[in-house]
Amino acid sequence: NAGVMQNPRHLVRRRGQEARLRCSPMKGHSHVYWYRQLPEEGLKFMVYLQKENIIDESGMPKERFSAEFPKEGPSILRIQQVVRGDSAAYFCASSHTGTGAPQPQHFGDGTRLSIL
Amino acid sequence: KQEVTQIPAALSVPEGENLVLNCSFTDSAIYNLQWFRQDPGKGLTSLLLIQSSQREQTSGRLNASLDKSSGRSTLYIAASQPGDSATYLCAVKTGANNLFFGTGTRLTVIP
């Protein structure tokens, strides 16, 4: 009865390296959301995906960041050429498909990214 | 653009006290409002979700109210316990696909 699973829990990278963050949604959920929480700040929306489609990436930085949610496997948030300012907690949430009232989002425990 | 504000930023109370956390939002055109709990180094746990057509939701010692027209919500915690110590986040869902979060209220319940 797994909830939203994120890995790794902690990730350390040097400036200029690539970071890959993974998110497996709850069983039966096909909507995935990525949020970023900078130190001492609230969570900020980055991107919303459904299987094989990016629906809304209005919160995603234009450069170096990309996200995917393939037909098989977890959703991936990829950060290329990381900089110190990318240090943050990255949270993934998922929700159920369906019509009617928007479904609640269920969150994972996050990935804490530290850039040396 | 939707902005969510939570007051106070931090709160310390002795065990057993009742307390109220406040959340305000600038755009009243919301689908729902959620209250979350976040423990240090952990993810978010959903506490209560209020649809825009509802006025309040209750779960155990927690009661959340929503006044959509004035852009306000409160989270009432009765008979606080040390285990309630955490950061409480308020988030609203608008016509966009994402949640807009406040910066949270850090609650400490002193034994």
Q: How large a percentage of chain B has pLDDT more than 90?
A: 85
CA separation, residue B6 to residues A58, A90, B21, B26, B53 (Å): 24, 21, 8, 12, 22
Q: Higher pLDDT residue, A111 or A2?
A: A111
Check pLDDT > 80 for residue A103.
no
Residue written as token pair 């930085």:
A61
Query: Where does the pLDDT of residue A101 fall: very low under 50, low under 70, confident under 90, or very high at 90 and above?
Result: low
For residue A17, give every residue at least 6 positions away whose Cβ sits within 8 Å of its Cβ, in sequence order, or none.
Answer: A81, A82
Q: What is the pLDDT of residue A102?
A: 64
Q: What is the pLDDT of residue A40?
A: 77
Q: What is the pLDDT of residue A97?
A: 66
What would the mean pLDDT of A81-110 be, rounded to a whole number? Answer: 85
Residue written as token pair 């400490």:
B108
Nearest to A42 among B42, B97, B102 (CB): B102
Interfacial A residues in 10-49 facing B (CB < 8 Å): 33, 35, 41-45, 48
What would the mean pLDDT of B91-106 be, rounded to a whole number? Answer: 87
Q: Is there a contact between A26 and A3 (Cβ–Cβ < 8 Å)?
A: yes
Check pLDDT > 90 for residue A81.
yes
Chain A residue whose CA is closest to B45:
A107
Instruction: Give the Cα-Cα-Cα angle B104, A90, B47 (nearest 5 degrees).
Output: 40
Check pLDDT > 60 for residue A98.
no
Q: How large a percentage of chain A has pLDDT more than 70?
A: 94
* Amino acid (1-letter code) at residue A52: E
Dump pLDDT digits (tens) for A46-71.
999 998 899 999 999 999 999 999 99
Q: What is the pLDDT of residue A111?
A: 97
For residue B66, give every residue at least 6 positions away whose Cβ sits within 8 Å of its Cβ, in sequence order, or none.
Answer: B33, B50, B52, B54, B55, B56, B72, B73
- Of the residues A5, A31, A105, A109, the best mutation for testing chain B's interface (the one with the most B CB atoms within 10 Å of its CB) is A105
Average pLDDT, chain B: 93
Dump pLDDT digits (tens) for A3-28.
999 999 999 999 999 999 999 999 98
Check pLDDT > 60 for residue A1.
no
How far apart, in whole angstroms, are the C-alpha atoms of residue A27 and residue A92? 14
Q: Within 13 Å of residue B88, how many CA atoms lie on the same side as its CB?
A: 29
Residue written as token pair 């979060």:
B101
Q: Between chains, do A42 and B41 touch, taking CB under 8 Å as contact?
A: no
